[in-house]
């Protein structure tokens, strides 16, 4: 993934695409920071985790700028998010998440909202990188509530 992003960065720089160049540079910087933190090259799975975190930051920033009345900045963050989403694995449909959540609830014997932690612990490893944690959480809440 890292090599693909570096190649895409070179192409964006040649095409003078400032938005894509900036977004990919920030992503590569996040990879480097993770490598420094670990003290070794990051794995593909760790790179995906960094990518998910960066995408989540863009989404939250866009929402914050929108609340603050800064439409121009919110739009920039959304465009960067679109660029980052090209590198994310395809997200799982909601109905499939619901099916897996029901299975996790049955497996853990959960029956009330207080059991949500057990259900999420069972469910999230299966969905890592393929579903937004907030969406999974809301589906589980709904099923337990």
The CA–CA distances, whole Å, from 23 to 51, 137, 145 equal: 11, 28, 40
- In the chain, pLDDT over 70 holds for what percent of residues? 100
Query: Cα(75)–Cα(105) distance, rounded to whole angstroms?
Result: 39
Q: Can you spell out the DSSP letters for 59-94?
A: HHHHHHHHHTT-HHHHHHHHHHHHHHHTTSPPPPPH
pTM of full prediction above 0.95 = no
Q: Residue 48 pLDDT > 90, yes or no?
A: no
Mean pLDDT of all residues in the chain? 89
Q: Residue 143 pLDDT > 80, yes or no?
A: yes
Least-confidence region, from 50-59, 68-77, 123-132: 123-132
pLDDT in tens, 68-96: 999 999 999 999 999 998 888 777 888 88
- Higher model confidence: residue 126 or residue 11? 11
Q: Residue 129 pLDDT > 80, yes or no?
A: no
Query: Cα(87)–Cα(55) distance, rounded to whole angstroms?
Result: 10
Query: Cα(68)–Cα(74) distance, rounded to whole angstroms?
Result: 9
Element (H, E) at 121: helix 116-127
Q: Which domains does the chain have, with CATH numbers?
A: 2-85 (1.10.1510.10), 94-144 (1.10.10.410)
∠ CA 60-80-53, nearest 5°, is: 50
**What is the per-residue burial (b if ≥16 Cβ within 10 Å, else e) of 112-127?**
eeeebeebbebbeeeb
Please compute the mean of the pLDDT values over residues 16-24 and round it to a whole number.
Answer: 94
The C-alpha torsion from 103 through 109 and 110 to 112, rounded to 10°, is 130
Position 108 confidence tier, pLDDT thresholds 50, 70, 90 = confident
pLDDT at 59: 92
pLDDT at 77: 95
Element (H, E) at 120: helix 116-127
């Amino acid at each position: 993934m890292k090599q693909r992003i570096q190649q895409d960065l070179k192409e964006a720089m040649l095409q003078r695409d400032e938005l894509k160049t900036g977004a990919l540079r920030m992503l590569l910087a996040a990879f480097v920071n993770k490598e420094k933190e670990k003290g070794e090259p990051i794995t593909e799975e760790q790179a995906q985790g960094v990518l998910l975190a960066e995408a989540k930051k863009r989404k939250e920033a866009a929402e914050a700028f929108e609340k603050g009345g800064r439409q121009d900045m919110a739009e920039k963050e959304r465009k960067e998010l679109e660029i980052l989403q090209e590198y994310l694995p395809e997200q799982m449909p909601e109905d499939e998440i619901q099916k897996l959540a029901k299975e996790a609830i049955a497996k853990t014997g959960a029956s009330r909202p207080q059991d949500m932690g057990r259900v999420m612990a069972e469910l999230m490893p299966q969905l890592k990188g393929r579903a937004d944690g907030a969406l999974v959480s809301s589906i589980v809440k709904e099923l337990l509530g």
